[in-house]
Amino acid sequence: MDKVLIVDDNLEFLGILKEGLQHYSGQFEALFASDVNEAVIKLKREDISILVTDLKMPKVDGLALLAYMSNDYPKIPCIVMTGYGNPAVRKKIDEKDIFSYIEKPFDFNELAEAIIEALDIRDEFASLKDISGISVTSFLQLIEMEKKTCLLEVDSNNNGGGILYFNNGILYDALYGSLKGEAAVLEILGWDRVRFRFKRLPKKKIKQQIDADLTSLILESMGSKDESIKADKKSIQKKIGETEGVITHELDASRSEEGDEINEQTASSQKSFVKFSKQKNINEERRHKKMALENAVLDPLKDISGFLGASVYTGSGELLISEAPEAMNIEKVAGLAVELYKNARAIAEQIEIGVADLVEVRTETHYFLHACIVPGKGGMGLLMQRDGNVGLMRLTMRKIAESLVPDFS
């Protein structure tokens, strides 16, 4: 069975993941390490298929671990847990890159999906020789996102080595052979099959020689590659286009003649059909929205131990979706939950401790949790057994509530 190594210095967080990922024990085995040194030991002892790591850790951080992976385990896909992201550039990153990231906060189901996807990518590219390690683009983005100050050496089997200097995540200077500054960066960004090493910072202060930001340089590098590919395909596309042009012209002429004969006979029927279709689309859209809401709210919560029921309601207590025990009057509970939150919010304001976002009622056998989505506009309630995983339930509810804010704003 595939083994996944998860590295994070937050022991409480690792405990939550350990319990949650047990639901996926039939698909992979999760191993855990609380620092980079422990992770390296397990990498040497175990046959690890996927590495999942946080970046912010004491002593040795996650970037150093990723650099180690690029040298010693370049075929193992890596997933980074981060509070940042750059989707605009990530969409353009080379599809052969076996690095990905998952943005915090997330629940164990999202992490499991990312792990399974990484395993699929590993299997898909297992037989290809040109898949190895994290790309230069991905690694430099992580340095930028983490605002790290470092001197990074990038080695390529085909191109030799280059040096890049970052100051608080800003790319200051680069050197490759006789190339310096932006010219050196653009060359290094095009390399494949690379290894990373962090070097000791120089004692002398390095002046900023690069004016462009990293994202602009990455896009410029990718644009150069795209232009090269387009040039190679240009002559083939021209020949295909000439042939398609003749065929398209003939088809358009034929369609025009047929259209003139039909228009008057179908006008009234089309109006009726359009009216019916609009109403049908509205109903269909409402149904899909409700299903999407149920999937987004109920599915993640059902997998957590102790779950009994959950619902989402408006600021006045009107139910939008609900799954609860039959004996419970869920409409009454929703109204009471709204009043409970109003009282809790008033108390929080009176004692000046901020805005209440989660209200909890605990009995000898159960928990009832209410999470505010948008004050006065929407909330969600959950009933669970007291011996369930209430910590993970709170974390998941907060994340779901945050994701639903746009729907209630």
Give the global pTM.
0.55
Domains of the chain: 3-136 (3.40.50.2300), 147-245 (no CATH), 291-408 (3.30.450.30)
Residue 180 confidence class, pLDDT cut points 50, 70, 90: very high
pLDDT of residue 94: 43
Reference 115, options 53, 61, 45; nearest CA is: 53
Query: Is-contact 156 146, C-beta < 8 A?
Result: no
Mean pLDDT of the chain: 80
CA 108 to chain centre: 13
Q: Which residues contact 74 (CB under 8 A, 6 or more apart)?
A: 132, 133, 193, 195
Segment 27-55 mean pLDDT: 95
Segment 16-21 mean pLDDT: 91
Residue 187 confidence class, pLDDT cut points 50, 70, 90: very high
Each residue of 214-237: pLDDT tens digit? 988 988 887 765 555 555 555 555
Q: Which residues contact 216 (CB under 8 A, 6 or more apart)?
A: none
Q: Which residues contact 54 (CB under 8 A, 6 or more apart)?
A: 7, 8, 9, 10, 62, 80, 81, 82
Each residue of 335-361: pLDDT tens digit? 888 888 888 888 988 888 888 888 999
- Please measure the distance between the N-terminal and C-terminal CA atoms of the chain and give it in whole angstroms: 45
pLDDT of residue 224: 64
Handedness of CA 151, 154, 155, 159 (dihedral sign): negative
Alpha-carbon distance of 14 to 12, in angstroms, equals 5
CA 111 to chain centre: 9
Q: Is the pLDDT of residue 171 over 80?
A: yes
